[in-house]
């Protein structure tokens, strides 16, 4: 079983189709395929978690459990072990930028205050984008319960969107963090 750090490295590598931290891509794919063992009971890799919409960039996509290649080919992936939509902590989501359905192709167009909506079941969680930054591929602070705060205890409800940058390259990661603004029950 992979530890959180090695699984994160493999997930970041597969997300963008590159090697990371000396992990060859083939090995990273194998490592990420171990995600079901990392996922909480009852949520198998590929399970539909939510639907994501971001009006600013015209995005509507499914969010599925896991960050393995088979999930990221067809949806945005939910990083196992991070919060579910609306829960306290950080809901970390990975998506391709220039391959497959390229859900995060326009992520660089996001601005502070933009709405990020996750609909899970009969509840819509509306987050407001609070920051956007470019990070090194091995910066795992992005997965902390409070994004970018090491060893943090959850103090709110966050969503973190992660993809590769610049377009067509896996040199860095583009990250948009949002904080829960409100939730709405859908009838």
Mind telling me the catalytic residues? 96, 164, 173
Q: Which residues contact 51 (CB under 8 A, 6 or more apart)?
A: 60, 61, 62, 63, 118, 119, 120
| Strand pairing report for 157-165 and 123-135 | unpaired
Residue 149 tokens read as 């705060």
How many whole angstroms separate alpha carbon 17 and alpha carbon 28?
9
Beta strands in 66-121 (DSSP E): 76-78, 89-94, 115-120
Where do runs of H (alpha helix) occur along the chain? 4-16, 25-32, 35-38, 69-72
């Amino acid at each position: 079983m992979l530890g959180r750090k090695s699984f994160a490295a493999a997930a970041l590598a597969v997300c963008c189709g590159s090697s990371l931290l000396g992990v060859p891509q083939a090995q990273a794919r194998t490592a990420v395929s171990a995600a079901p063992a990392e996922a909480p009971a009852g949520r198998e890799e590929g399970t539909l978690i939510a639907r994501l919409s971001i009006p600013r960039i015209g995005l509507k996509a499914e969010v599925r459990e896991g960050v393995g290649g088979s999930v990221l080919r067809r949806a945005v992936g939910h990083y196992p072990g991070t919060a579910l939509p609306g829960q306290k902590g950080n809901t970390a989501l990975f998506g391709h930028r220039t391959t497959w359905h390229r859900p995060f192709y326009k992520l660089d167009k996001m601005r502070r205050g933009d709405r990020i909506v996750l609909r899970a079941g009969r509840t819509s969680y509306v987050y407001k984008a609070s920051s956007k930054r470019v990070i090194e591929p091995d910066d795992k602070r992005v997965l902390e319960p409070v994004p970018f705060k090491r060893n943090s205890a959850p103090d709110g409800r966050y969503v973190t969107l992660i993809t590769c940058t610049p377009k067509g390259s896996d040199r860095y990661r583009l990250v948009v963090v949002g904080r829960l603004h409100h939730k709405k029950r859908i009838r």
